Chain A
Amino acid sequence: METTSNFFGSIGRKALTYLDHLANIRRLAVNTMYWVIVAPFKKQGAKWHYTVDQMVRIGVESVPIVCLIAFFVGLIIAMQSAYQLQQFGATIFVANLVAVSLIRELSPLLTAIIVTGRNGSAIAAEIGTMKVSEEIDALQTMGLNPIKFLVVPRTLAMLIMLPCLTIMADFIGILGGYAICMLSLDVTSVRYIDQTISALAFKDLFSGLVKSVFFALIIAKIGSYQGLNVEGGAEGVGKATTKSVVISIFLIIAADLFFTALFYSTF
């Protein structure tokens, strides 16, 4: 009897803390949206230079690694698809596969995962360290809202820069596919470009960008939430950072599945 009640008790408690987290994240999201959308009209919006700082750190500083990985992925997909398509003498369709798979799927996903590792973790660690060293309390005692000063600039910067990085990854990835075709397959440059353009439709780009906007929200929200809820010193910051990366990547892939299914069934 006791073990059963313990068993269900622990499940119940787990479920409650989980729901608690959800409610808190929802509150954080609503608060952030208030500061992003409503506050500027009341002339209380956050100052732009905080957002610009974050845009540099999230966007500009991620450019090299995102480009490098996108280029590699372009090379990989081109080789893998050529391996199969050669059997049918249809190597020209490498261009279709590279373009469509990158733009619809891989570049939003990979960019989001790179940025989670680079910046999602940094958001959690920075805000968490500020929490531990009483800096968040200090903000509050100055009458300054930590969401406005810390969460909003990071969220805005993420929302702007992740789609930009994604578009960049699209181009660089296609360039990778192009490189393989030029070097080892007998496809001419003009045909490859023509084929790529004809393979793509606006909806492909659109679906990729919609995904990256939602991924940006996930990364910024989870990072900030984990940071603001750090407890217990350096160890707490470490745990929050790990958690933010794991949860973000999980949610990104889950959201990816959802949107892929949605676009697959509607377009």
Chain B
Amino acid sequence: MKEPIIQVKNLVAAYDDRIVLDKINLDIYSGESMIILGRSGCGKSTLLRHMIGLAKPVDGQILVRGRDITMMSEDERIEILKNIGMLFQSAALFNSMTIGDNVAFPLRAHTDLKENIIQIMIKMKLQLVGLSGFDKFKPAQLSGGMKKRAGLARAIAMDPEILFCDEPSAGLDPIVAAGIDNLILKLKKAFEMTIVIVTHELESVFIIADRIAMMHEGKIIAIGTKEELQKSQDPLVQQFLNRQADKEEIDREKHLNSILG
């Protein structure tokens, strides 16, 4: 087995007193696409925020290439982050800049490349995501799917080894969403990127995932390939994969009490 590129060890996260992540352990191997699956509010986005260092854990470690990012100095962390790309749910493009400047932003900040080389890089990255010719547009002039693709172009501007995606197909129509999925697959094959995706869209899961980690209420309840997960006996896993609604509680007494206080 390959060496894990990201290791999450006993991660505990909390907002005030509410525990959101409860002793999470997760290994992500180099070159694989790992999907973190779960219902809204199960803590999957929080896990992602911790893995990329946007939030500090209460307890536990996050190792990227064997080094703990929670204990690092600012400079060391920046070196690690140069090798990581992140696609945000809202794409998070800088609205005051053109698409081209957005893609060039990390390059201009981290490298000493000449402007004509940066212009070539912008063209290459935009072509890769199918947005050739849009470099002079502002984010507000693009549709939701185009923004996501522009966000993806920016995320891969520095040719990262690891790509994190937060709900890549949320809020997109099925055709555009499928396009984004294909794009992610293409990137994985072409650049051998390690891809970590947080989502609750089952369609994407089966197209992209090498392995799936299923979360429920701050814990990982199942992890494995899609076949392994489909065979799982865990009722929560089955409920999610088969898109079954929660059983409604028919306790009238309780219902009445909850209304009347």
Contact = CB atoms under 8 A, between A and B. Distances in A.
Chain A: number of interface residues, binned into ranges: 10 to 19
Contacts of B54: 137, 140-141
B195 to A, nearest CB: 15
Given A135-B92, A135-B94, A143 B86 contact: no
A65 interface: no
Interface stretch (B77-85, B125-133, B215-223): B77-85
Given A142-B105, A143-B77, A143-B110, A133 B82 contact: no
Nearest to B86: A141
A134 interface: yes
B106 interface: yes
A149 B93 CA distance: 15
A135 B95 contact: yes
A171 to B, nearest CB: 34
B109 interface: yes
B109 A133 contact: no
A144 B52 CA distance: 13
Interface residues of B, number: 28
Given A140-B54, A142-B106, A134 B88 contact: yes
A-side binding surface: helix, strand, loop or mixed?
helix
B90 interface: yes
A138 interface: yes
Interface of B: 49, 52-54, 74, 77-82, 84, 86, 88-90, 92-96, 105-106, 109-110, 154, 158, 164
12 contacts: A133-B92, A137-B54, A138-B88, A138-B92, A141-B84, A141-B86, A142-B106, A143-B78, A143-B79, A143-B82, A144-B109, A149-B109
Given A137-B88, A138-B93, A141-B164, 14 more contacts: A129-B95, A130-B94, A134-B89, A134-B92, A135-B93, A140-B54, A141-B52, A141-B84, A141-B86, A143-B82, A143-B106, A143-B110, A144-B106, A144-B109
Nearest 9 interchain pairs by C-beta? A143-B81, A134-B92, A143-B78, A138-B92, A141-B86, A142-B106, A134-B88, A141-B52, A135-B92
